[in-house]
Structure 1
């Protein structure tokens, strides 16, 4: 390993920052909650719950319907992540499937899956992409940056200045 090769810490920091950028450009939490909501809706009708020596089986005649709803919710959650342009459609479909899961699949996965999917659908509809591009509010990007100033000068609010070779935004 040479002195110029990035260490493990630098690689982890790089991937963490890339993931943060990816996560910030899409309705990440809406998709995650929708996926997590689909799992109990699909799983619980087929599960055997053991309480001590007692086995409780939640098999219903609507087991296939529960599986379909759960798989569709997971698919909609992935759609929110990878096709953010259809986030409103995915959010509305998620809310409708969550509501349908109440009578079909054991109260929507004992209300756990229902509440997670409902929250994920609402977050997907409410999410809006941020498009400031790293510029302060009110700047269009057409204006040139402020001229370099000395470190002792007073900052003007919202003006980008250069101090010691680095760019800083005065607040």
Structure 2
């Protein structure tokens, strides 16, 4: 959203700060995986209740996936528990829900859970390879004159 003067509004920086404090992409992928599995179920709830517990699990597991993804986004302190539950439930949808939403929801759930499990909250931002090389070249350029002075004075 741009302001009339062309500068970005207050929403984007606030969202970036919120997103940086949590495993955003992992939770989002897990929630999307659960939603995808739920959308691939074609049977009506009346048929599922008639089939019994096996049919009910087809709706229950993707709902738990969706819930874990949302809870990861809004309660990142419990991310390890939710990610373990998310990966187990995602793998369980392979049996109960059309091969895990035709493998798409299953893969989204597993990848999202793994991203969440591996996320570290206090990690410094990565420095690009280009920036590291540039800093190394600058350090070498500073070190060369110092080496020459040391060799000349000895």
Superposed CA offset, 1:101-139 (max 9, x none): 11111111100000000001101100001365x9xxxxx
- The aligned counterpart of 1:56 is none
Distance in 1 separating the partners of 2:81 and 2:5: 41
Q: Deviations for 1:27-55, whole angstroms, at most 9, x for unmatched residues?
A: 0000110011001212212269xxxxxxx
1:74 Cα deviation from its structure 2 partner? 1.0
Task: Please name the residue that 1:17 is paired with.
Answer: 13
SS in 2 for 1:101: helix
Match of 1:113 in 2: 105
State the match for 1:28 in structure 2: 24
Q: Which fold has the larger relative contact order, with Cα–Cα distance below 8 Å and residues 6 or more apart in sequence?
A: 2
Aligned to 2:89: 97
Q: Which runs of 4+ in 1 moved over 2 A?
A: 6-10, 59-64
- Contact kept in structure 1, 2:23 and 2:73, CA below 8 Å: yes
1:68 CA displacement: 1.0
- C-alpha change, 1:108 and 1:8, in structure 2 (3 Å) is farther
| TM-score relative to the length of structure 1 | 0.62
Change (3 A) 1:39 1:47: farther
Q: Matched residues in 1 for 2:66 and 2:5: separation?
A: 33
In the alignment, structure 2 segments of 5+ residues that lack a partner are 126-137, 140-154
CA contact (8 A) 1:42 1:69 kept: no
* Structure richer in helix, relative to its length: 2
Equivalent of 1:125, from 117, 130, 133? 117
Paired with 1:65 and 1:75, the residues of 2 have a C-alpha distance of: 15
More strand as a share of residues: 1
Q: Unpaired segments of 5 or more residues in structure 1?
A: 1-5, 49-58, 135-155, 158-171
**Match of residue 36, structure 2, among 28, 33, 40:** 40
With the length of structure 2 as denominator, give the TM-score of the two structures: 0.68
Q: Is residue 83–residue 117 contact of structure 2 (8 Å, CA) maintained in 1? A: yes
Equivalence for 1:161: none
* Residue 74 to residue 9, structure 1, CA distance change in 2 (3 Å): farther
